[in-house]
Structure 1
Amino acid sequence: MTTFLKVDDELKRTLGFLPDDELLDEQSLKRIETALTAAEIYVQNAIGQGDKFYQKKDVAPLYKIACFAIAANLFNHPSSATSSTTAMAIIGQMRGAYAVFREEQENGSTSESRQTNTDD
């Protein structure tokens, strides 16, 4: 399983920390890193394996939002964390995109080549 995301200022702000926040100690940073890794594993297991898929230009922002939403839940509610509705909605969208991606990988085709002209 490959992880792509790093703890950045955006994730810190999502969790309520400012970049140079005194409350953001080493232990908190380690918890954030662990929550983010767990979130990435969760998302990838929910959708499927494929490093190239998660790095696609149109998928990467959705992947990041879903992972951040799950990481925030894991960080803020470690004993009772469940996936957020935001993350689950995005995962649903990404599953459809992943199915198309896998089909294109297996068949060597693109979605444009499968379209037919209906004006004929």
Structure 2
Amino acid sequence: MTTFLEADDELKRTLGFLPDDEALDKQSETRMTSALTAAEIYVQNAVGQNIDFYQKEDVKPLYKIACFAIAANLFNHPSSATSSTTASTIIGQMRGAYDLYLEKEQQNGSTSESGSTEPGN
């Protein structure tokens, strides 16, 4: 599993912290990073493993929003977190786009080596 998003100022603001917020201690930053990693793994397992897909300009913003929505739930409700409606909707859109991406890759004969090309694996 490859993750590439970072717990940056945008994620901190999503979680209600200002970039230099004194309430944001090292433990919270570690939890934030762990929640984001878990969110990326969740989205990739739900959509597909081909990392090149998530780097596409039209997909990357959707991927980031879905991951941030899941990370926020995991961060704020660690013992009872579930995927948000926002994340579920975006994941559904990304599944369709991923299937089209795989079809184009197979038609071009250029299936990526960077991960499995099976949806949902």
Tell me, yes or no, whether TM beats 0.5.
yes
Q: CA offset at residue 106 of structure 1?
A: 1.2
For 1:55, the equivalent position in structure 2 comes to: 55
Structure 1 counterpart of 2:84, one-letter code: S
Higher Rg: 1
Q: CA offset at residue 4 of structure 1?
A: 1.2
TM-score by length of 1: 0.89
For 2:18, the equivalent position in structure 1 comes to: 18
For 2:6, the equivalent position in structure 1 comes to: 6
Distance 2:11 2:3 in 1: 15
Q: CA offset at residue 89 of structure 1?
A: 0.2
Structure 2 counterpart of 1:67, one-letter code: C
For 2:99, the equivalent position in structure 1 comes to: 99
For 1:42, the equivalent position in structure 2 comes to: 42
Q: Please state whether the residue corresponding to 1:43 is helix, strand or coil.
A: helix
Residue 86 of structure 2 corresponds to residue 86 of structure 1:
yes
**Higher relative contact order (Cα pairs below 8 Å, separated by 6+ residues):** 2
Structure 2 gaps of 5+ residues are 110-121
Identity of aligned residues (%): 75
After superposition, give the CA deviation of every residue in 1:28-62 in whole Å (9 maximum; x if it has no partner): 00000000000000000000110110000000000
Runs of 4+ in 1 over 6 A off after TM superposition: none
